Amino acid sequence: MTVHTPLEMAGAFVGNVWTAPGGAHDEILNPATEAVYGRAAVGTMHDLDQALDAARTAFDKGPWRRMSLRERARKMEELHAHLLARRDEIVAMIVAEAGCAQAEAAGLLYAIPLQQLAADIEEAYRRESVTSLPFMVNPGWAGDKVLGGGVKQRVPIGVVAAITPFNAGFFLNVVKASAALIAGNSVVLKPSPYTPFQAWVLADAIQQLDFPPGVFNVVTGGLDVAQGLTTDRRVDMVSFTGSDAVGAAIMAQGAPSLKRMLLELGGKSALIVREDADLDLAAQTAFWNITCETGQGCMLFTRHLVHNSVKQGFLDRMSALFEHAKVGDPADPAVTMGPLIRGRERDRVAGMVDKAVSGGAEVVFGGKAPAHLDKGFFYEPTLLTGVDNKAEIARKEIFGPVGVVIGVDSDEEALAIANDSEFGLGGGIVSADKGRAYEMALELDAGFIILNEGPGAKHPAAPFGGFKRSGIGRESGTEGIDAYTEQKSIMFRAG
């Protein structure tokens, strides 16, 4: 199917219709070619006001929250089938809009969120919206005995503002909308200005499937729209994925109205390579974490803590992988890594690398823009060694294809360095001793940990989120649906 640019003639998606554009249009660039991919209306505060009114009305007066879990699950099954049928269009959109390599676009950014949607639907069929509390006998006022009981119920929170980044637009749009809608909420989605079409395709599906008006809305725009979402009293909850600095600002903006917060923020995760590790596996894991999404992923392992006895062997294998990497336009299926999202992001990454090298770091490979590409926002996969964990490049989230290697002499030193971070999103351990690796995982201050290759893919039942400045709350799994609910208890006298 040919990808077109439906937002070129539209404003916001409100109440199942596209409004007339009220402001300017942004030219959406293909980051690999710098060509214009499409034109998207820039959302205005008027668009936001309309979307919030529609979402509020849908929640307060509409049928969606009053449906049973099973009824909502059946409607979400229609959405799942519709998105599956549009696979080629959506994958092509992710490649062109975000610059993601085709294999990653098809697997990580398209297939996995639909697996999560399917898992959420299954969970909705399994769970009961009301469960009984144990009966109990209490003394009555007249000296008799009173039999009492109660029920507890999970109910939707209300209007959810979902704010998503460019690096995993379709992924996070689906994951957030899936859990929020299944729980019975209304949603106003604000996508990144760089990747609005990955929100359009979800709105287009909702429109075609005739969901109740107002339960899902999309408003593009800049900081004014984002701040409007996080401060408006019509919003009950904010679900945000992005940097820790912006997450902290959103918490402050939502504080006066005590909004519920689900914040999936940054990471500076460590991969520990023990002295007994399979070095081929360790190098492949580390290299994938440098190149996946061109390093533009919060979950990626960017600090490689390698036992000094095997460090040189690890570096040799990493260098060999670099020689076989192909950087270029991800429209080419042979390309293994695409560009960064924009030129300023490439310049920021290059500046961090240059500063690290000036401070004594050594470049194992990469460290510059590829000479053979005169268009696009490309930067080579880069590995640095001779880095201290106190250095900026080992502490700040790079959000680019850069990893650092730090040598260690013991498990204890590796754990201490891994935990010496403001972040606590993920971690990995490569070791032939699976029992020892598990023991070490228990000591890591991180929300998700992968031992060796893990299960081979994201587990849809596993909650995802982090410690410390990596966020608040969890997405995915039963916890990911519960995050969009409040719990209510109703007590009664039985006799």
Please pick, among 100, 104, 298, 475, the residue that the annotation labels catalytic.
298
Q: Is 298 a catalytic residue?
A: yes
269-460 matches 6-265+473-492 in CATH topology: no
For 101, 207, 375, 494, the CA distances from 370, given in Å and listed in that order, are 17, 43, 10, 75
Q: What is the pLDDT of residues 12-24, one digit of tens each?
A: 999 999 998 877 8
pLDDT of residue 247: 97
How far is residue 18's CA from residue 11's CA, in Å, rounded to a whole number?
A: 6
**Any residues with CB less than 8 A from the CB of 267 and at least 6 apart, and which?**
298, 299, 300, 302, 397, 423, 425, 426, 466, 470
Tokens of 280: 């081929």
pLDDT of residue 17: 95
Please pick, among 97, 104, 264, 293, the residue that the annotation labels catalytic.
264
Residue 473: Cβ-neighbour burial (10 angstroms; 0-12, 13-18, 19+): buried
Q: Considering only CA atoms, which of 25, 29, 30 is closest in space to residue 8?
A: 25
Beta-bridge mates of residue 382 = 402
pLDDT of residue 24: 86
Task: Provide the residue ranges of all domains of the chain, joining segments of one domain with +.
Answer: 6-265+473-492, 269-460
pTM: 0.94
pLDDT of residue 1: 36
199 three-state secondary structure? helix
Q: What is the CATH number of domain 6-265+473-492?
A: 3.40.605.10
Q: In which residue ranges of the chain is pLDDT below 50?
A: 1-7, 9
DSSP annotation of 368: S
Q: What is the CATH number of domain 269-460?
A: 3.40.309.10
